[in-house]
Amino acid sequence: MADISCNIAGVRSPNPFWLASAPPTDKQYNVERAFKAGWGGVVWKTLGEDPPVVNVSSRYGAIGYRGQRMAGFNNIELITDRPLEINLREITEVKRNWPDRALIVSLMVPCEEASWQRILKRVEQTGADAVELNFGCPHGMSERGMGSAVGQVPEYIEMVTRWCKAHTRMPVFVKLTPNVTNILAPMRAAQLGGADGVALINTVNSITGVDLDLMAPMPMVNGKGTHGGYCGPAVKPIALGMVAEIARDTCGKLPISGIGGIETWRDAAEFIALGSGSIQVCTAAMHYGFKIVGDMISGLSHWMDAKGYATLDAFKGMATPNYVEWGELDMNFVTKARIDQDLCIKCGLCHIACEDTSHQAIAASRLEGRRYYEVIEAECVGCNLCQHVCPVEGCIAMVPVPTSAPYLTWKNHPRHPDNLATTE
């Protein structure tokens, strides 16, 4: 059996599956249930200074897709609404009861050194393994000068991180907000400030929908709505992109805890392959309960066994070198769509997608009275739109055209403006 134990920035856990800082980690009761179910670690729900915040009623919005619930999830909750004292006491007890699990405490206090110093001292006494600085929440806290209001200003990130490193011996993770144009800027600021690692992504600023009767955005509180943080399966591609960006930029040297839309062992494996050391889950646990970690552990282990990866490090970051700029792709590589006529159910979706919106490369005809769809190879540009719209798994294959032509990047392509100039 593969060893899936995890060590990231000195924080150890029996498996890489952590619960992200959110309601599932707000109380000892929840966290101990999670540990019983098998979760390797938790990031405790963000602590702040007393008096605690007050939350509104109706806090979540969700996007379903074609009968599946919660493809995307949105919240307008704030940080923990329980007194600091209670949280710290529970954290101490949980760590004592579960010494082998990772327990990281998420923090968000005003942008003053004294505030951070004060809370860090108290967290240190709990025996927690690390802290995570929440520079992420796009709602509520940002309007108070915290959360993404800090996370969007690299100078602030660097300053607060530096304070924290100065005032604690615990490893410091900086949790990044995706609500920026370039994720590398806040990441570099955290690095400059001395962060031991980054965690990303926090939620994406959003409105989930509009109630067309009440004419108010959702989620709605007594007829009014506000922007909230989007997460769940829908945000996974955004998160993967940002994780890959950071892993590539730092050559895998900066520990990353990957977050965003992770629901299955496969999602987790993808984050790890792109450079994450641990992964964090919020929405999937809120949707199905803690039991899902059973399949995550079993699925990841069996997959690693099948691939011959003995440890997480054996494949961590393996996909990062293959994440390149567009300009480094091979212009001589060509694939063509091929329809398996035995599998084809003659729905015509491939044809109309290509005919109406792309390259007119799938002919619609009748063969012995039956509908017949066939790729016109000469017209097919290998975009694979048809493969994506086809409802039958494995029916349309993208077949590489054998070529002896060398790997050709755009820079060396005859149509690159520089090369046009020289040939003319």
Ligand X SMILES: Cc1cc2nc3c(=O)[nH]c(=O)nc-3n(C[C@H](O)[C@H](O)[C@H](O)COP(=O)(O)O)c2cc1C
Catalytic residues: 137
Among the listed ranges 258-266, 297-305, 334-342, 368-376, the one in contact with ligand X (CB under 6 A) is 258-266
2 scored as a contact of other proteins (CB under 8 A): no
Instruction: Report the distance separating Cα 285 and Cα 90, nearest Å.
Output: 21
Window 325-364: residues binding ligand SF4 (CB under 6 A): 339, 344-350
CB 317 within 8 A of CB 247: yes
Q: In terms of CB distance, is 123 or 220 closer to ligand SF4?
A: 220
Separation in Å, CA 26 to CA 32, 84, 180: 11, 11, 27
Q: In terms of CB distance, is 284 or 361 closer to ligand X?
A: 284
346 scored as a contact of other proteins (CB under 8 A): no
407 binds, among ligand SF4, other proteins, ligand X, none (CB under 5 to 8 A by kind): none
CB of 345 vs ligand SF4, minimal distance in Å:
5
Residue 7, C-beta contacts closer than 8 angstroms, at least 6 positions apart = 277
231 binds, among other proteins, ligand X, ligand SF4, none (CB under 5 to 8 A by kind): ligand X
367 scored as a contact of ligand SF4 (CB under 6 A): no
Window 385-404: residues binding ligand SF4 (CB under 6 A): 389-390, 392, 395-396
Q: Which of 202, 206, 257, 278 binds ligand X (CB under 6 A)?
A: 202
30 scored as a contact of other proteins (CB under 8 A): no
CB of 261 vs ligand X, minimal distance in Å:
4
Q: In terms of CB distance, is 76 or 189 closer to ligand X?
A: 76
Among the listed ranges 10-18, 112-120, 214-222, 257-265, the one in contact with ligand X (CB under 6 A) is 257-265
Q: Which of 107, 189, 220, 231 binds ligand X (CB under 6 A)?
A: 231
259 binds, among ligand SF4, other proteins, ligand X, none (CB under 5 to 8 A by kind): ligand X
CB of 347 vs ligand SF4, minimal distance in Å:
4
In three-state form (DSSP H/G/I as H, E/B as E, the rest C), the secondary structure along 71-129 is EEEEECCCCCCCCHHHHHHHHHHHHHHCCCCEEEEEECCCCCHHHHHHHHHHHHCCCCC
Diameter of the chain by CA atoms?
82
Going by DSSP bridges, is the β-strand pair 278-281/256-259 parallel, antiparallel, or unpaired?
Answer: parallel
Among the listed ranges 3-11, 275-283, 333-341, 387-395, the one in contact with ligand X (CB under 6 A) is 275-283
393 scored as a contact of other proteins (CB under 8 A): yes
Phi then psi for 228, rounded to 5 degrees? Answer: -135, -170
Measure the CA dihedral 218/222/228/233, to 10°.
-50
Check the CA dihedral 123-127-133-137 and report its sign: negative
105 scored as a contact of ligand X (CB under 6 A): no
**Tokens representing residue 344 in the block:** 């084809």
**The residue type at 323:** Y
Alpha-carbon Rg for the chain, nearest whole angstrom, is 25
45 scored as a contact of ligand X (CB under 6 A): yes
Q: Provide the 8-state DSSP code for 49.
A: P
Window 281-300: residues binding other proteins (CB under 8 A): 288-289, 291-292, 294-296, 298-299
Q: What is the DSSP string of 354-409?
A: HHHHS---EEEEEETTEEEEEE-TTT-----HHHHH-SSTTSEEEEEPP--PPP--
Going by DSSP bridges, is the β-strand pair 256-259/102-107 parallel, antiparallel, or unpaired?
Answer: unpaired
150 scored as a contact of ligand X (CB under 6 A): no
256 binds, among other proteins, ligand SF4, ligand X, none (CB under 5 to 8 A by kind): none
User: Helix 154-167 and helix 184-193: axis angle, to 10°?
Assistant: 30
CB of 423 vs ligand X, minimal distance in Å:
50
- Interaction site with ligand SF4 (CB under 6 A): 339, 344-350, 373, 389-390, 392, 395-396
- Interaction site with ligand X (CB under 6 A): 20-23, 45-46, 73, 75, 77, 79, 106, 134, 136, 175, 202-203, 229, 231-232, 235, 259-262, 281-284
